[in-house]
Amino acid sequence: MVILGAGPTGLGAAHRLAERGHRRFEVYEASDRVGGLAASHTDEAGFVWDMGGHVQFSRYEYFRDLMDELLEGQWLRHDRVASVWMAGRLVPYPLQQHLHDLPTDMRERCERGLANLEAPDSTPANFREWILATFGAGIAEIFMLPYNEKVWAYPPEQLSHHWIADRVAPIAAATVAWGPNRQFRFPERGGTGEIWRRLAARLPKSQLHLRREVVAIDTRAQEVIFADKQRRHYDRLVSTIPLDSLVTRAQLASLKPLSDALQYSSVHVIGVGLHGQPPPHLAKQCWMYFAGDDCPFYRATVFSNYSPNNVPDPARHWSLMLEVSESPVKPVNQETLESCVIDGLLATGLITAREQVASVWRTRLEHGYPTPSIGRDALLEQILPALDELKIYSRGRFGAWKYEVSNQDHSLMQGVQLVDRLLGGSAEVTLHDPAVVNAPGLRPRPE
């Protein structure tokens, strides 16, 4: 078996194969490191960065046990402290539970919207309609609609709402304790990438190949092809690279119009290393949401609060990690981005002077968020089975393109469950039944 990509999905598949006693697999990874979007980097000044704010929480027993084993006691546990930046203040998340913290006119507008909520006579046709029907016009207009447009980089009326499950707190359920990530853990050292480095270290070294980008796939000969023209045969190909890129590399002309119709957004991650200590209002914050145009970022993470080892010297430094989304309908000027981010930090009171900045690290994730666009499921229902017929199994965040099952635990479990299906015939519940795996309660371990 050949596995493309050493992110959580590819490593999950490889780990499961090894766990079940199968030795005949090879993993090929384009980058110089494992972890994919969940990798970490240390900048020249010694600040550690993830590719955007990553936290660990899961309802899969298998994933939780594996995390315990991999890092043993080297986890830091946190209670979520999250806020929404509104009307020049940080309002605790979820916003709908803290309307009393808003200025009177805003609060009254939100309350009027809630009072006017009526049971809809038809199911919402898109995410915008779902937001209005769930939160009322007030909360929708002051936060939910502009925030979601900012984070997804597409208008909410172009998105479906079927992915939501427990990702957006509805009014009835919204308390400060709401949601699967109300408590989370983070590696003591090395950032989120440490998890994946440790999982990779368990695999036989000779079977994990870094800096080996697959540039083409010959589906007739069942071979992957590298830039130096070398080829490797596969009996089955587990692909965790973005689905659009897979279809292009395999030159599958009949699937190309379908995979090209899948939408995604890119994410710029800007890590700002800072001198001094966080101000009191940020001393316990984990992350904050930003809907307005006073800053380019939709989310800021106080990354030094996740682990003191994320900064070179915790007595003298702290750090903020910012995420900015981009899509064809929301372009980003790369040249001015860094200065716009620093201006935004000043405008939103996250820093008070430019001189606080010790270092800036940045990266751009071409494939950041798989967009739950309205036609997505119909496209996937054609593409994935057609690939399966060719013995190509495309899984993971961008392999299967389902945002609702694209966290690290979902991704790892997609790899695990695919291997179980190929070896023993059990169903791939994460891929096929997102609502089942995202329902409250623990998902028991597979045999």
Ligand X SMILES: Cc1cc2nc3c(=O)[nH]c(=O)nc-3n(C[C@H](O)[C@H](O)[C@H](O)COP(=O)(O)OP(=O)(O)OC[C@H]3O[C@@H](n4cnc5c(N)ncnc54)[C@H](O)[C@@H]3O)c2cc1C
| Using rule CB under 6 A, residue 365 touches ligand X | yes
Query: Given candidates 1, 2, 5, 387, which one binds ligand X under the rule CB under 6 A?
Result: 5
For ligand X, the closer CB: 12 or 113:
12
For every residue of 58-91, DSSP letters joined together read: -SBHHHHHHHHHHHTT-EEEEE--EEEEETTEEE
| Residue type at position 109 | R
Residue with smaller CB distance to ligand X, 404 or 420:
404
Residue 333: left (phi > 0), alpha (psi -120 to 50), or beta?
Answer: beta
Residue selected from 169, 267, 345, 416 as contacting ligand X according to rule CB under 6 A = 267
28 binding ligand X? (CB under 6 A): yes
Q: Does 153 bind ligand X (CB under 6 A)?
A: no
Q: Does 372 bind ligand X (CB under 6 A)?
A: no
**Do 2 and 224 form a contact (C-beta atoms < 8 A)?**
yes
Interaction between residue 278 and ligand X (CB under 6 A):
no
- Give the nearest distance from C-beta 116 to ligand X in angstroms: 35
User: How many CB atoms neighbour CB 201 within 10 A?
Assistant: 11
Query: Does the footprint of ligand X cover residue 151 (CB under 6 A)?
Result: no
Is residue 70 part of the contact set for ligand X (CB under 6 A)?
no
96 touching ligand X, by CB under 6 A: no
- Nearest CA among 298, 287, 300, 295 for reference residue 347: 295
* Residue 83 backbone dihedrals phi, psi, to 5 degrees: -140, 165
Q: Which residue is nearest to ligand X (CB)?
A: 36
- Cα–Cα distance, 245 to 260 (Å, whole number): 9
Q: Residue 10, interface with ligand X (CB under 6 A)?
A: yes
Nearer to ligand X, 160 or 266 (CB): 266
Whether 413 and 58 have beta carbons less than 8 Å apart is answered as no
Place of tokens 């590819």: 10
In the complex, the smallest distance separating the C-beta of residue 181 from ligand X, rounded to whole angstroms, is: 7
Nearest-approach distance from CB 292 to ligand X, in angstroms = 20
All residues at 6 or more sequence positions from 252 whose CB lies less than 8 Å from its CB, including other chains: 219, 386, 387
**Between 7 and 296, CB nearer to ligand X:** 7
Instruction: Please report whether residue 6 would count as binding ligand X according to CB under 6 A.
Output: yes
* CA-based radius of gyration for the chain: 22
Amino acid in position 72: E
Q: Which of 382, 416, 420, 424 is nearest to 401 (CA)?
A: 382
The interface with ligand X within residues 399-418 (CB under 6 A) comprises 399, 406-409, 411
Q: Which of 199, 234, 207 is nearest to 220 (CA)?
A: 234
Work out which of 3, 36, 270, 341 binds ligand X, going by CB under 6 A: 36
| For ligand X, the closer CB: 125 or 442 | 442
Of the pair 7, 94, the CB lying nearest ligand X is at: 7
What residue ranges bind ligand X (CB under 6 A)?
4-10, 28-31, 36-38, 51-55, 213-214, 240-241, 267, 323, 365, 368, 396-399, 406-409, 411
